[in-house]
Amino acid sequence: MKQEPAAQNSPPASPPSSQPLSEDDDPQALWIFGYGSLVWRPDFAYSDSRVGFVRGYSRRFWQGDTFHRGSDKMPGRVVTLLEDREGCTWGVAYQVQGEQVSKALKYLNVREAVLGGYDTKEVTFYPQDTPDQPLKALAYVATPQNPGYLGPAPEEAIATQILACRGFSGHNLEYLLRLADFMQLCGPQAQDEHLAAIVDAVGTMLPCFCPTEQALALV
């Protein structure tokens, strides 16, 4: 997976509506956009992967998690997408083809929908290396209508909750750190003020905290 910083400082303008989206006309192929744990742990077979972004959405730690990163008594905080005209969310798109399509969707239905409370939504994904060749992709989004939705809270409160929670997939802090690490790899043009504020809040609570691989080894 290529993760070199792109030359542009901001997302390119949206293509004209008449411009076809690359590689989307093959019914045997599907792109799946991940912006949370899928960026480092997809856990399904895929044919290709590309780092890039979607426009019109911001990432927020507003979804509760009682399985992967928390419990019924202490729900963790994981990310969802919030519609935002000025927003830009970086992540990874995975292409699945042939038999991979049904297997990936079956797996993700359990992981994201049944256990996570997410619905599916079609988004336009701009690859980092070729932003002028956007792709249609499937994204999993948690809406306020699902029972696990926690909604907004001060970044300090979110950080406190993250530090206290652990689920079957590991500590909630690991989730935060791995996502922050991914954003650093995307380069300086990849910004997420909400994520950065939560990381900073964790830093004030843990004076020796440093979001590095060494820190990841502790959770």
**How many independent structural domains does the chain possess?**
1
List Cβ neighbours of 19 (8 Å cut-off, separation of 6 or more).
none
User: Does residue 56 sit within a domain?
Assistant: yes
Structure confidence by residue, pLDDT tens digits, 134-166: 999 999 999 999 999 999 999 999 999 999 999
Phi, psi at 24, each rounded to 5°: -100, -10
Tell me, what CATH number does 54's domain have? Answer: 3.10.490.10
Catalytic residues: 112
User: Does residue 147 sit within a domain?
Assistant: yes
Q: How far apart are CA 79 and CA 5, in angstroms?
A: 23
Note down the domain range covering 97: 30-207
Q: How far apart are CA 172 and CA 27, in angstroms?
A: 37
User: Does residue 161 sit within a domain?
Assistant: yes
User: Does residue 23 sit within a domain?
Assistant: no
What's the pLDDT at 167?
97
Structure confidence by residue, pLDDT tens digits, 67-122: 999 999 999 999 999 999 999 999 999 999 999 999 999 999 999 999 999 999 99
- Cβ–Cβ under 8 Å, residues 52 and 103: no
The dihedral over CA atoms of 69, 75, 80, 83, expressed in degrees to the nearest 10, equals -170
User: Does residue 20 sit within a domain?
Assistant: no
User: Does residue 131 sit within a domain?
Assistant: yes
User: Does residue 49 sit within a domain?
Assistant: yes
- Cβ–Cβ under 8 Å, residues 88 and 18: no
